[in-house]
Structure 1
Amino acid sequence: MKPQDLAKELANSIRESPEYQAWEKAKAEVDKHEAAKIMLEDFRKKQWDLEKARLNGEEIKPEQEEQFKKLAEIIQYNPYVRDFLVAEYNLNLMIMEIQRIIASAVGVKLPEEENMEKKDDGK
């Protein structure tokens, strides 16, 4: 069987998983509530802006970090956004585990694994 065919089976299996089902349900709830949708979009934009700045080597001001932390706390009070972020996190954990399994099978070390080995070696 071709790897592409197996990938299609894997994708179908992921869509049937409890993690994906929970994510899809949570996303539908966010989409039904305009305030939650706007809140999530604003959070994502600010999250992306900070990450982009870090990747570009820009210094992140403490007040920017603090502002983002406050926003992250505030969105936890919206049950639709909170449930979506939890479901998204769980789905991402499953996908990362699948990625680790595939990488390990073909002898590729992921950056996270390399960092863990360095810590184990005392470096």
Structure 2
Amino acid sequence: MAEGNGWDLSPDIQAAIRKLAESLAARDEVKELKAARAELDRHEAARIMLRDLRQRERRLAERQMAGEKISDQELEELRQVAGVVGFNPYVRALLEAELRYATLMAGIQRALEEALGFAPEPPDGEGDASGEQGAAGRGKVEPARSRLWVPGQP
């Protein structure tokens, strides 16, 4: 599992990962993502639409990371393309499944960090030094969101 990838994972950690993966394979989020990917693979036009959208997103992200300013027009064009792509039922199903899976994985990441004592600190003004949350609603963890707007999703 860890061979050849640059990770130095001991056999006990590799065994724990395999056990976690077995447990995760039974989760609806994982099953739905696999099914959505398989369904998308059966529809050439949907695959091309998603590929093109992700290439466009990646190019803009790379430019932004290089320090370039992305124009409002470019962002609006991306939103429009994403809106059109999101109307494809196979792409939409995949994006929704990816969002649910990402939320699951974020929860696992947070649980691991907490178990190791690396729980993220709340943003400024939230919680106190003991880690207690402040007023109601503050410190609430929002689920992971796709970078892509999906019709029917806020």
TM-score w.r.t. length of structure 2: 0.70
**Amino acid paired to 1:75:** V
Aligned residue identity for 2:89: P
Decide which structure has the larger Cα Rg and report it. Answer: 2
Structure 2: gaps spanning 5 or more residues: 1-10, 128-154
Bigger RCO (CA 8 Å, 6+ sep): 1
Write 1 or 2 for the structure with the bigger share of helix.
1
Q: 1:35 pairs with 22, 42, 45, which one?
A: 45
Which runs of at least 4 in structure 1 moved beyond 6 Å after TM superposition?
none
Once the 2 structures are TM-superposed, how far is the Cα of residue 119 of structure 1 from its aligned partner?
4.4
- Which residues of 2 match residues 44-123 of structure 1 at below 5 A? 44-109=54-119, 113-114=120-121, 116-120=122-126
Count of residues paired in the alignment: 117
Q: CA deviation at 1:89?
A: 0.5
- TM-score when normalising by structure 1: 0.87
Deviations 1:39-74, CA, capped at 9 Å, x for gaps: 010111111112222222210111110010001110
Runs of 5+ unmatched residues, structure 1: none
Structure 1 residue 2: deviation in Å? 2.2
- Classify 1:100/1:80 alpha carbon distance in 2 versus 1 (closer, same or farther; 3 Å): same
Identity %: 32
Aligned partner of 1:118: which letter? D
